[in-house]
Structure formats: C-alpha cells, structure tokens
Structure 1
Amino acid sequence: MSADSTQVRQRYDRLAPYFDGLEGFLEGLLFRRLRKKLWSQASGAHILEVGVGTGKNFPFYPDDARITAIDFSPNMLEMARRKQQRKQIAVDLALMDVQALDYADNSFDTVIASFVFCSVPKPRKGLKELYRVCKPGGQVLLLEHVLSSNKALAMMMNLFNPLILNTFGANINRQTLKSVQACPFQKIFVDPASSDMIKLIRAIK
C-alpha cells in the first residue's frame, strides 16, 4: 500500500467509531434518499460494493443477488461486520484496496460505490479497476460529490480541500466524472436530477 493510501486508511480507522454520527444529519436529510436511488439501478446475479464503510447501504441491498463488499479500512470494515451480524445482512465482506482489486476480470454484473472516490489517492487507477472487474455489458454505478462548476465556489473548495483532506481523509474538489470519462466505457450517463456538486453516474462497459 502506498504512503498516501496508508494515511487515508489511518484517518478512516480513526474516524470509524464516530463516522455514522458525524454524517447523521446529512444522511437523513439527503444521502439516504440518494443511496436508495443509486441502488435501485443495481442489477445482475453478483454485485460488488466498493467502499462499504460502516454499512450504510445495507438497507438497499437487493434480495435476489449475491453481494460482495470491500473496504480498505479495517476499523470501518469491523463496524460493517457488527452491523451485518446485528441485522443479519447477506454479504461477503473483505478487506481490500479499490486500487488493486483481488478479483478476476469480468467478475461482476454491477459494481457500485457511494462517496468513495473522494478519498481514493489515485481515483483513475481505482476506476480502471472497477472497469476491469465489471462484466462486458455490465455497469458501474457511482454516487459522488465533485468540484462545483461555479468558479467562485470551486475556488473556495480548492482552498479548503487540504484542511478537509487532513481531517477527514476526503477531497471535496475531485472531478470524478472526467475520471470516469477517461476509462473506456461504452456509455456514460449522469442522472439529470444530479446537483452541481453531487452526481449519480452510470457507466456501461
């Protein structure tokens, strides 16, 4: 694991016990609805969730699919395991870095991630891994916060990004849509209901 990845992992390990509480207000106000919408598009027999975190997406898992979920933070994954056992969620959990997935090419019908690529040190490398393990004709579904298209707001986001990154391990100025477009997907769709800074992206391999 690179030095950057180790630093980000350590930040999430530190935040793991408090993570659900820290995001509780936004989760109830906005994120939960967006997660539900994202997961409503998941399809196929085998689904990979990247960046499972504390298991916030567990309520939206489809009943008719095998779910594999990974995270690179041992402490976040432990929180997810506790929630899995408490709520009896059918999911295979694994400790893994999205930048180096330990899965064969063309393994999953849907690969899905929510608010993950803000914290991946090399996002294009991670996205290429998602493309690699996705089956031909399969889909990658992403819910991500991105750099604003408003120049003044973008300047402020860039200014405060080092502070946010050092505190929480997440970047607030990523241009994730451009990173997805740099991968060889056949088609890329952005949900028209997406806001300026939160995008729902569907990419077809």
Structure 2
Amino acid sequence: MLLEGVHGNILEIAVGAGANFEFYSQGSTVTGLDFSAAMLEKARQAAKEYQIQADLRQTDLDEWEGECQKYDFVVSTLCLCAFEDPVQVIKAMANSCKSNGRLLFMEHGLSKYALPGIVQKWLDPINYKFNGCHINRDMSAIFHSSGVKVLSMKRKLFGIIYLIQAQP
C-alpha cells in the first residue's frame, strides 16, 4: 500500500476532503493544500474524525513554489491531471521534501496498452472540458522531466494507475 508507514511531518497536495487521513500514523502532523475552501472544510472534519493535527491552507498550486526541505513525506493522489504544469508542481513538492524524505504519488495517466491509450487520447478534450482533468498524460515522461529520483513506479488497471515513490 502506497501510504503504509507514512508518519511525521506530512505535506499533502490537493488534500481535497482529507480522504487519505485515515492512512496516516497517529501523531502525524499534516499540512494540506487545496484551492477549494469547501473541500478544506471537509478535510477539517476528516482531521477531527481521524485525530490528525492538520494545518489546512487554501492555495493556488499552479503557482506554488514549495517550502524548503520541511516535510518527511509529500503526498499527491489523483491530482497531477488537473495542473497546467505538473512538472513544476512535482519540482515544488521535491523542494518541500527533506533530502531523506519520500514523495508518494498515486496518479492516473496514459495507459501502456495501445487501445486504452487511443481511447484516452480521443476522450481527453471532452473529459478536460467537463471534469478539469487530463486523462492522457504520460506520467513516466513527466516524472523523468521533473528531475526527482524515482525509486519505484508500479502500474495498475491496464497501466493507467501509477503508484510512484520518489526522492527529491
């Protein structure tokens, strides 16, 4: 499991409603960033439910530059699809992570199989228009361009779901 053993000082990008809080070790401190005030309010409720100490901030992540080597773990789940420049966001995440820390991602992107990939490419403009989400991004290329050290990249569900562990 991607979030198993996540503890300490955690930064979660696009925290949403705090769905990952249940997986963090007790005693952890979470800084959660999101553009949506409504989602942050739900995350506050989740933090109370899971007894997570949370500092939740409304931020435009497309312009966020990160915080210098502050966090043990930096987490992103299913959000890189929405950013104008996902490479810049990964770089900001790496800037925020301690040098011996971990960057953890669960993202979706272009399938490694031809037929699903063709469908993703065809549907992407429609999906982006209605959902604000690109479904055809090449996550392998994005991570290569970001300069982070990828420790592992596993792909699931026709190669569409990426589970990635990296270091700054």
Task: State the distance in 1 between where 2:105 and 2:93 align.
Answer: 11
Runs of 4 or more, structure 1, over 6 Å off, are none
Contact 1:96 1:102 in 2 (8 A): no
Distance 1:41 1:165 in 2: 34
Confirm or deny: 8 A CA contact 2:26 2:52 kept in the other structure. no
SS at match of 2:89: helix
TM-score (norm 2): 0.88
Q: Give CA-to-partner distance per residue, 1:138-159, whole Å, 9 cap, x none.
A: 1110001111112222111111
Q: Given the alignment of the two structures, is residue 200 of structure 1 paired with residue 160 of structure 2, yes or no?
A: no
Long gaps (5+) in structure 1: 1-36
Q: Which has the higher strand share?
A: 2
Amino acid at match of 2:33: I
- 1:15-164 matches, within 5 Å, as 37-43=1-7, 45-85=8-48, 88-101=51-64, 103-164=66-127
The whole-number CA distance in structure 2 between the counterparts of 1:82 and 1:137 is 31
Provide the aligned length of Structure 1 versus Structure 2.
Answer: 167
Q: Secondary structure at the match of 2:81?
A: coil
1:81-117 deviation digits (Å, cap 9, x = unpaired)? 2333455442111111333336531111110111010
Q: Given the two structures, how large is their TM-score scaled by the length of structure 1?
A: 0.73
Change (3 A) 1:184 1:85: same
Aligned-residue sequence identity (percent) comes to: 28
Asked whether the 8 Å contact 1:39–1:61 carries over to 2, the reply is: yes
Q: Calculate the aligned-residue CA RMSD, in Å.
A: 2.0
More helix, by proportion: 1
Secondary structure of the 2:80 match is coil
- Structure 2 portions without partners, runs of 5+: none
Distance change (3 Å), C-alpha of 1:102 and 1:63: farther
